[in-house]
Amino acid sequence: MVFFLWLSAQGMWIPAMSNILSQRDMAWVIPYAFAVAPFASIFSPLIFGALADQKVQAQKLVGALGAAGGVTLALSFASLQYGWGGAWFFLSMQGLTALISAPMGALIASIAMSNFSNPDRQFPLCRTWGTVGWIVGGLIVSALMLDQSAYSGMLAAGFRFLMGLSCLMMPVTVPEGKKSNDWRDYLGLKAVVMFKQRDLRVFLITTVLLSIPLSAFYMYTAPFLVHLGSATPSANMTIGQGSEIFALLALGWISKGKIRLLFLVAMGAAVVQYSLFVAAGINGGLAAAYIGISMHGPCFAFFFITGQMFVNRRVSGELRTQAQALITVLANGVGAVMGSLVCGWYFASVAGLSHHWLWFWGGLAVMVLACGVYFLIGFRRDESEDGGDANVSA
């Protein structure tokens, strides 16, 4: 239920936000709207992860954060609907929402994997309900014809608030780490010890680099679909979550295999996705765009979900929540901030060219390919992929 409610809210407002802002002649806000939330989320996941590792029961913490995030999310979209404070009030509320909500993904993942008897098999199956929630959220928005309405964000806020309350039903997850007065513990910085190991370091750096071109998916796919003639872009984008369900179900069975291969398949799927977007931009057909969207599922599941399980195997209990939080900071914080600004600048740079969608998606495909080459060269320690005992500790 928690995964379902959490990601159904995300599926309601994230795909719709670009079109909501464009409808209000606020297209210039799009890069900043997608950057302010990741910028805020650079700081909070590690701090709240450290609290869950040392001081506070994780299910209580994520419940409080979920309910508070629902309130600030409602305020941000209400400001658009009712004209409160203009763009800067909207951006400030988005930033506050991210500051509160950014740790939730890492906390929920940590709670789940801490209470599963076989996390590698059970976590992908449980996480599938979140993907189902995203699909349901997108379909509800399009069914209610809210693809360009701020009411989609306000509806999402209600789901987010319910998610916070439902966290009270999650298993009690007590802190495993020792209480400490070390300032690094309060800031959640001990997880950076993962950078000392080559395989983890390459994975974490690749996470940042790959998040840059992938940021464009939620920023510009919905406007791209409208450009191609789609009247229901939010529903269309749930195709990616549909394929994600199959990828997650498969991941539950193949995650004991070669981690390196799964990561490479994920990046290959992203290259195919953007290449199909190029084809759609050339011929103006939605079919290629829909197939491209379906590549989102294996890309997300085989890289980011596999990455969470990979890190969970490799770190000891007292660092696991902080380690998951570090992935959140790098992917949804540092990488997403850079991606929002870089993709926003790049889109503006090519917007005046003929066949600008070709140049835009084609350039992003090249960026993903470069990430794959770096990972292929750097990640060599296959003996770390067997799911052995945790060997990274504070």
Least confident of 49-63, 161-175, 245-259: 49-63
C-alpha 191/C-alpha 14 separation (Å) is: 29
Overall CATH class of domain 2-174+185-386 = mainly alpha
CB atoms within 10 A of CB 315: 24
Between the CA of residue 11 and those of 14, 78, 243, what are the distances in Å? 6, 18, 15
Q: What is the pLDDT of residues 152-211, one digit of tens each?
A: 999 999 998 888 888 777 777 665 555 545 545 544 566 677 778 888 889 999 999 999
pTM above 0.75, yes or no: no
Residue written as token pair 């409208």 = 226
Structure tokens at 58: 């994780």
Identify residue 293 by its one-letter amino acid code: I
C-alpha 330/C-alpha 38 separation (Å) is: 9
C-alpha 195/C-alpha 202 separation (Å) is: 8
C-alpha 309/C-alpha 316 separation (Å) is: 13
| Average model confidence (pLDDT) across the chain | 81
Structure tokens at 156: 């999402």
C-alpha 233/C-alpha 253 separation (Å) is: 32
pLDDT surpassing 70 at residue 368: yes
pLDDT surpassing 50 at residue 387: no
25 burial level (CB within 10 Å; 0-12, 13-18, 19+)? exposed
Domain boundaries, given as residue ranges, for the chain: 2-174+185-386
